[in-house]
Structure 1
Amino acid sequence: MIQHIIARLRQGHRTLAYPKVLPQLPDRYPGRPDIDPSACAGCDAGGACAAACPTGAISLETGLALDLGRCLFCTDCAAACPRGAIRFTGDFRLAASSREALVLRGQPLELARPLPPERLRLFKRSLKLRQVSAGGCNACEADTNVLGTLVFDLGRFGIQFVASPRHADGVLVTGPVTQNMRLGLEKTWFATPEPRVGIAVGACAISGGPYAGHAETNDGGASFLPVDLYVPGCAPHPWTILDGLLRLLGRGETG
């Protein structure tokens, strides 16, 4: 027993002080992409960046555009671009309040806004969520579940995952919503008392991800359920998810 106590003392305080202190992520983490459409002028690469994208997140029809809701953050587009028009910044702050905000055309990403005042008053200090894995690969699910560990300690913000939608304030969806899970997701949504909150985590839940357009999926929960928070990624980093949740509650960092 004494050995365990000594080990804990050596480890020190393991919960990070976010949002007061930003976490340090490894260099290999790609993070938020920045695009510079002006760099595409006269490009003779023949749309190599768009061709390299496995989910069609890159569009060149009306100038360079990148859809974070479809992006897998594989960085193949940046590697294929000979002019450096696409680069990944390493910034984990990616969550947005609208689907349109996730489409980058050279403008800064508009990060998630707090809920409207009448709903924020209800949920700011206590938000209970029912998580639904609607056909996901378990990556987004794992990065959501890890928020309960001592490093992130989701409970210190009054946010908690619950077992029943009857006890929940909102539904957090992961996965592309397979046909077998659509009814279950809909039942969970309508079993959650109003005014409920909708959260889509990961490219699959936002757009269908690599399964978009498949006959056995529904292109994510965002395609047929109202969503208050979009958290892009494949899978989103736990800090990205936590940052989005705090911004939804008006408690995120502003720097």
Structure 2
Amino acid sequence: MDTQTLPDNVLTTQLKKVVNWARRSSLWPMPFATACCGIELMATASSRYDLARFGAEAMRFSPRQSDLMIVAGRVTVKMMPVLQHIYQQMTEPKWVISMGACASTGGVFDTYSTVQGIDQFMPVDVYVPGCPPRPETLIEGIMAIQRIIDEDGLPKGPRRPLQLAVEPSYVPTPQPAGIPITIGGRPLSV
């Protein structure tokens, strides 16, 4: 029986595996660093931690050239429309890492002006815990993104945020009534 065999210099694979391998090996992060987590984000690109080993060293500051957003640090209510606009300008498929306690849950800043988790306004793929997280933890988060890319297959379309409204949890205390204010012993009339 005569069977046809492939020549020695031919490699066969599935198209989605090749596309995902290329996509996972060339992540282009868009950093959105606002606080102390930003310093740890910068440290991951240093020679000690060498983010280039994972193909994610090309930090892009243009959203149209990025496919991985790393939100590191506090996000205020005034910043959120800018962050959403940057996210919308990124190319599909895109992924988001929420780095640190402040980006994930608001951290210790339980105030009316701090967003208590960016996942209320955009989809988040990986949460990197810590205050601030160490560079090794961020690298583990990037490796988790690479595992997600390997499992996903070809992209199916744009993802939608949860579109939840953030209500402030801060309730100001009322001013005390009936306490006279004096300046130099004379009452102050308001």
Distance across 1 between alignment mates of 2:124 and 2:36: 21
The offset of 1:119, in angstroms, is 8.2
Instruction: Give % identity.
Output: 32
Letter of the structure 2 residue corresponding to residue 139 of structure 1: C
**TM-score of the aligned structures, taking structure 1 as reference length:** 0.48
**Structure-2 residue corresponding to 1:245:** 142
Return the TM-score normalized by structure 2.
Answer: 0.63
Measure the CA separation in 1 of the matches of 2:138 and 2:41.
7
Is residue 188 from structure 1 mapped to residue 89 from structure 2 by the alignment? no
Q: Secondary structure at the match of 1:172?
A: strand
Distance 1:126 1:185 in 2: 23
Q: Is the contact between residue 74 and residue 102 of structure 2 (CA under 8 Å) also seen in structure 1?
A: yes
Give, in angstroms, the shift of residue 123 of structure 1: 2.3
Deviation per CA, 1:81-109: give whole Å up to 9, x if none. xxxxxxxxxxxxxxxxxxxxxxxxxxxxx
Which deviations, in whole Å up to 9, do the C-alpha atoms of 1:55-99 show, x marking residues without a partner? xxxxxxxxxxxxxxxxxxxxxxxxxxxxxxxxxxxxxxxxxxxxx
Code of the residue aligned with 1:219 in structure 2: it is Q
SS across alignment from 2:69? strand
Match in the other structure for 2:168: none
Distance in 2, matches of 1:159 and 1:238, equals 13
Q: CA RMSD in A?
A: 2.3
Q: Does 1:165 align with 2:63?
A: yes
Q: Which runs of 5+ in 1 are unaligned?
A: 1-116
AA matched with 1:189: Y
Q: Unmatched 5+ residue regions in structure 2?
A: 1-16, 149-190
Query: Structure 1 CA distance, aligned partners of 2:19 and 2:144?
Result: 14
Q: Secondary structure at the match of 2:91?
A: coil
Contact 1:176 1:220 in 2 (8 A): no
Residue type at the aligned position of 1:141: G
CA separation of 1:163 and 1:120: change in aligned 2, threshold 3 A: same
